[in-house]
Structure 1
Amino acid sequence: MSTNSSTTQTSSDGSPEGQQILSHLVNRLLRAEGGSVPVERVTLRVSDFTDLSDQQAADLIDEGEKSGIYTLTRSSSGSATIDNVVSQGEEPEVITAAFGQRQTDGNTDFRILGVVTDSINDALQDAGYTDFRALSEADIDDLEHLTNTLTESRAEAIVAEAKQHVPVGHALAERAASYYAQRSNPASGVGEARVTDLTNITETVGEPRYLSKGWDAGDERGMYVSDVGRNTTEPIPTGLHILDNPDYPGVPKAETHPDASYDALPVDEDGEVIPPAVPIDPRLQLPLDELIAKKLARGLVPIRVVGPRGSGKNYLIKYLCHKTNRGYQSIDVDRATEPEDLFGPLIPDGDVIVPRNGAVKQGLINGDTIVINEFPVMQAGAAIALHRLLNEGTLLVKSHGELVEPHPSARLIITMNPPTREYRDSEPMNSATRGRFRSFEQSYIQDIDEEVETLYPQVNGDTEVVDRTTLKRIVRFAHKTRENENWPTLSTRNLTILCEHIEDGASPKAATKNELWAVAEPNQYPEDAHETLNDIL
């Protein structure tokens, strides 16, 4: 490598210059952008960090390409983008100061925390805090008064902000350990799988709370009251009775519950399950949780919820079941699903053939709320086998020779995607079957601020992963994708995954680009949306 003034690694006073600064600048820009960056943008930015001119920076990039530092792609028009870089040496302080300390740096200079002064930094070091993890676990009383300016409020701010700089691997390891402990055999302490034979679950859901408490059936304490979304200020009683056994195996659990599983419901900082963002049905103009709860209160009336992927159909139903202690039985079906998959096969038992209960039949017996996802893709025979249940509330299983009158708390809901271009592979629903359902539309959340307030507690636990300002920009971009059918669509579910990537260390823009790529249909090009993304994020 040349040793002239433009390319030397360090200046005469020992400060980093040339290729070292340039390579780390490129590294940070690649991470921030989530992909390649134009050479022109790099050469324009480099003057913010060193005395290199545009031309000197361009020459360094050309030299670096030849020596393997940079990987470039050149277009026929002569423009070039940098796709990869091998950073040279340690990251210069001027780059760290501009872009912020990375979680993996291991640098214990606590002055990057908002309220930490030189004296507070020295005091923390002297007190034995060696890294951000130790500082994040500090007792407020131990920090308070380490210096004359270190007040209780400052100590609290230091601990809170320190958590944001702890490498996520530590938190992930602790979460994994907690889950492993929950799924371990109490006797041996060894993790084990759980296999549940649905036919052996003969326990039924709890009794309505109004009965066990001796209340009047119309007492609001014993029913689901819609108090989220538009009904926050004026809660609406729905008549859907709360059952009295929250520990019934099928009830969706909060993630803090000892029997919670991977699909547990997330909780806020107070340990309360985070409610869904409840959309308004576009035609009935009422909140969807209120509408569905009132239909469920009417007994075994079939309900159909139509909405795009990731719009929260199942989460809303799980939330209602959680709030009312109802068993939640989710069943995914496909084109190969037949009646015996729903109700159970006939199996040999010695010299006789006996029926074995399937998920739908057993759920109806136990009093569960049964949710059949992507219902229209089933063969017509399987759907028609449910007609008597949809019409009369009783299930005739011909192969079993049984007429099942379900438990009085049993309910049936189906979900499906809308018949739009994005879901062109979905089967149309048989009109004879479709007419038997009370149907609702669950669209994506229309209000940006509402979606932000719903997502924020889900993606930020006791440590803020994404601040509200950044999250709002991400949500605003997601709404743009939902308005343009030529772009990949980012659902609410995709946004939670996107924020997970940010927690893992990706920049917001990189995480967004990755999720666009992940959900793109074969005829869609995520790059078409990048210009708008650059304007927003």
Structure 2
Amino acid sequence: MSSASTASGDTTPEGQVVLSHLVNRLLQREGGNVPVERVALRVSDYVDLSDQDAADLIDEGDDAGIYTLDRSSSGNATITGVSPQGTEPEVITDAFGELQQDTDVDFRMIEVVTDTINDALQDAGYDAFESLADANVDDIAGLTSTLTESRAENLLKEAATHVPVGLRLAKNAATYYDQRMDPDTERAAARVTDLSLVTDSVGEPLYRSEGWEPDDERGMYVSDIGRNAGSPVPTGLHILDDPDYPSVPKAATHPDAAYDALSVDDNGEVVPPAVPIDPRFQVPLDELIAKKLARGLVPIRVVGPRGSGKNYLLKYLCHKTNRGYQSIDVDRATEPEDLFGPLVPDGDVIVPRNGAVKQGLLNGDTIVINEFPVMQAGAAIALHRLLNEGTLLVKSHGELVEPHPSARLVITMNPPTREYRDSEPMNSATRGRFRSFEQPYIQDVEEEVDTLDRQVNSGKPVVDRPTLKKIVQFAHQTRENESWPTLSTRNLTILCEHIEDGVYPKAAVKGVLWGVAEPNQYPEDAYETLNDYL
């Protein structure tokens, strides 16, 4: 077909229709600009056009507003936008896949579904992928002689991948909305918690309530993840007996789970962190931190780059041991009364009102103070007695507080490097009071892939493992090049979220790179290397 021919019922040349839809798909997949030269060379795979004819059509389309071109001073041009003309040609759809699901449901697109199984499923009342994905194995196993239990499991898992993500997001949002319903008004409402009134304490150590010996491993956190998976290490950190204590980090399957709940795998178990080895002590970080927490109110400092999993590891330890987790973000304006509470009028007298740190210590929580060094020196020094002696002197309250025996204190911070120039060096007098550990990014590609796989592909596959591995390998490259934006493990979970929303993997990578770039960094510098992976 020639560029002069027109699509049926349309005045746009058929070559332009194919070309515009090809550009549309390439922009989606590439995540941004596509060189005109690359498009011109590829279009002959789909339509009878020479590269020169294609280049001419792009120039014509630029004048007609079909394409948006960015021309460099050297004369090279890239396409940055397109308005696809007409209906997407079948040749493009076949090459890139359907843009959206067909309205007519055909379960045979699932690998294990034969004609017989497809008919049996529809006869059983399954008329959409969402209803099939909600079924149980027992509901469909045995509908035909070939639909075994194991085949039914695979069928249901793949069915979930065909459910539009918007439907699942809507259900999840409705579940969270229902949890915030006011029973009196039957309408959703915000919740405001006066921390000074939350006076319930964490649970008792499990060994006490069960009548075990204190050193019984059943009553303590055992490090059995990462390097310790093959040879678990008892840490001495006691498990408490109240998993429903309000500030214990909840699994996503818990009735009170919220948007910040811990992810679970296909077995309903909380996904463990990818535990790094402390580069100096050469011991798994969860083991080191748990053993320090087991020693009582021993101040701990965890230093690591953004998104390396500092808070997730601490939340995981609290979840596994049923300990309250209170995360507090501080800044340069933080003063002692923000931590311990102000003095407020009560009638004719002034009385102390407990702040988050003081009340958390009274309740037996694990207090995690983030970005500790940016806090004013006076606020940090107000904690010195707690760091030294395990008791808190609140001068303005006139109180000496001996915390609950389960109370713990951890601070986190970014390393004071060029990338984190706002991270102030900690006062040496304060720094010396902490047991300090470093949490680097995950060094092993396969280990990071395993962790992400469990987080993003539980319940419904989102990113196939080979693609996930390529993304992780590229992320490791960004961590070694100071001039590129750095992709952290947290960034990769966001990246996978974009893919779940329908974004092509390379486009998702570019979007997240752009989102985390510092003013002096240029994501485009990393694109050539990205092309080696995706």
What residue number does 2:505 align with?
508
Distance 1:57 1:138 in 2: 50
Aligned counterpart in structure 2 of residue 192 of structure 1, from 174, 183, 189? 189
1:114-148 residue CA offsets vs partner (Å, 9 max, x unmatched): 45567877887788765543554466677778889
Distance 1:139 1:225 in 2: 34
Distance 1:207 1:501 in 2: 42
Answer whether contact 2:2 2:48 (CA < 8 A) is retained: no
Q: 1:149 to 1:79 in 2, by over 3 A?
A: farther
Structure 1, 61-70 or 405-414: larger mean CA deviation: 61-70
What residue number does 2:451 align with?
454
Structure 1, 136-145 or 189-198: larger mean CA deviation: 136-145
1:227 aligns with 2:224: yes
Letter in 2 for 1:62: D
Distance 2:59 2:232 in 1: 66
Letter in 1 for 2:423: S
Structure 1, 456-465 or 102-111: larger mean CA deviation: 102-111
What residue number does 1:278 align with?
275
Distance 2:488 2:340 in 1: 33
How far 1:416 moved relative to its partner? Answer: 0.5
Letter in 2 for 1:421: R
Residues paired across the two proteins, number = 531
Structure 1, 498-507 or 57-66: larger mean CA deviation: 57-66
Letter in 1 for 2:337: E
Letter in 1 for 2:230: T
What residue number does 1:318 align with?
315
Answer whether contact 1:103 1:166 (CA < 8 A) is retained: no
How far 1:19 moved relative to its partner? Answer: 2.0
Q: 1:163 to 1:401 in 2, by over 3 A?
A: same
What residue number does 1:290 align with?
287
What residue number does 2:381 align with?
384
1:382-424 residue CA offsets vs partner (Å, 9 max, x unmatched): 1111000000100011111110011111111000110111011
1:82 aligns with 2:79: yes
What residue number does 1:534 align with?
531
Letter in 2 for 1:319: Y
How far 1:10 moved relative to its partner? Answer: 3.5
Letter in 2 for 1:198: L
What residue number does 2:347 align with?
350
Q: 1:423 to 1:139 in 2, by over 3 A?
A: closer
Distance 1:208 1:23 in 2: 66
Distance 1:110 1:26 in 2: 31
What residue number does 2:69 align with?
72
Distance 2:264 2:127 in 1: 31
Distance 2:99 2:142 in 1: 29
Q: How does 1:167-246 map to 2 (within 5 A)?
A: 167-246=164-243
How far 1:433 moved relative to its partner? Answer: 0.4
Answer whether contact 1:7 1:60 (CA < 8 A) is retained: no
Answer whether contact 2:117 2:147 (CA < 8 A) is retained: yes
Q: How does 1:51-130 map to 2 (within 5 A)?
A: 51-103=48-100, 106=103, 108=105, 112-115=109-112
How far 1:20 moved relative to its partner? Answer: 2.1
Q: 1:523 to 1:132 in 2, by over 3 A?
A: same
Answer whether contact 2:249 2:319 (CA < 8 A) is retained: yes
Structure 1, 185-194 or 36-45: larger mean CA deviation: 185-194
Letter in 1 for 2:429: A
1:328 aligns with 2:332: no
Structure 1, 335-344 or 81-90: larger mean CA deviation: 81-90
Answer whether contact 2:6 2:14 (CA < 8 A) is retained: yes
Q: How does 1:149-168 map to 2 (within 5 A)?
A: 156-168=153-165
| TM-score relative to the length of structure 1 | 0.93
What residue number does 2:367 align with?
370
What residue number does 2:488 align with?
491
Structure 1, 458-467 or 392-401: larger mean CA deviation: 458-467
How far 1:297 moved relative to its partner? Answer: 0.4
Distance 1:150 1:409 in 2: 53
Distance 2:143 2:250 in 1: 43
Distance 1:407 1:41 in 2: 66
| TM-score relative to the length of structure 2 | 0.94
1:239-276 residue CA offsets vs partner (Å, 9 max, x unmatched): 00011111111111112212222211111111111111
Q: 1:38 to 1:110 in 2, by over 3 A?
A: farther
Distance 2:14 2:125 in 1: 34
Distance 1:57 1:290 in 2: 61
Distance 2:365 2:132 in 1: 47
What residue number does 1:430 align with?
427
Distance 2:133 2:483 in 1: 45
1:125-176 residue CA offsets vs partner (Å, 9 max, x unmatched): 7887655435544666777788897776655544433322322111110110
1:307-327 residue CA offsets vs partner (Å, 9 max, x unmatched): 001101011001101111111
Answer whether contact 1:301 1:412 (CA < 8 A) is retained: yes
Distance 1:500 1:298 in 2: 39
How far 1:63 moved relative to its partner? Answer: 2.3
- SS across alignment from 1:522: coil
What residue number does 2:515 align with?
518
Distance 2:24 2:68 in 1: 12
1:270-292 residue CA offsets vs partner (Å, 9 max, x unmatched): 11111111000001000000000
Q: 1:228 to 1:139 in 2, by over 3 A?
A: closer
Answer whether contact 2:40 2:51 (CA < 8 A) is retained: yes
Q: Which runs of 5+ in 2 are unaligned?
A: none
Q: 1:296 to 1:148 in 2, by over 3 A?
A: closer
Q: 1:88 to 1:130 in 2, by over 3 A?
A: farther
Distance 2:406 2:146 in 1: 61
What residue number does 1:401 align with?
398
Letter in 2 for 1:323: K
Structure 1, 418-427 or 147-156: larger mean CA deviation: 147-156
How far 1:5 moved relative to its partner? Answer: 3.2
Aligned counterpart in structure 2 of residue 476 of structure 1, from 473, 477, 486? 473
1:214-260 residue CA offsets vs partner (Å, 9 max, x unmatched): 10000000000000000001000000001111111111111221222
Indicate the percent of aligned positions where both proteins have the same amino acid. 77
Distance 1:383 1:350 in 2: 32
Answer whether contact 1:23 1:85 (CA < 8 A) is retained: yes
Letter in 2 for 1:197: D
Answer whether contact 2:2 2:49 (CA < 8 A) is retained: no
Letter in 2 for 1:31: Q
Distance 2:138 2:260 in 1: 37
- SS across alignment from 1:237: strand
Distance 1:344 1:285 in 2: 40
Aligned counterpart in structure 1 of residue 357 of structure 2, from 357, 360, 363? 360
Distance 1:298 1:141 in 2: 49
What residue number does 1:252 align with?
249
Q: 1:149 to 1:243 in 2, by over 3 A?
A: closer
How far 1:375 moved relative to its partner? Answer: 0.5
Q: 1:487 to 1:234 in 2, by over 3 A?
A: same
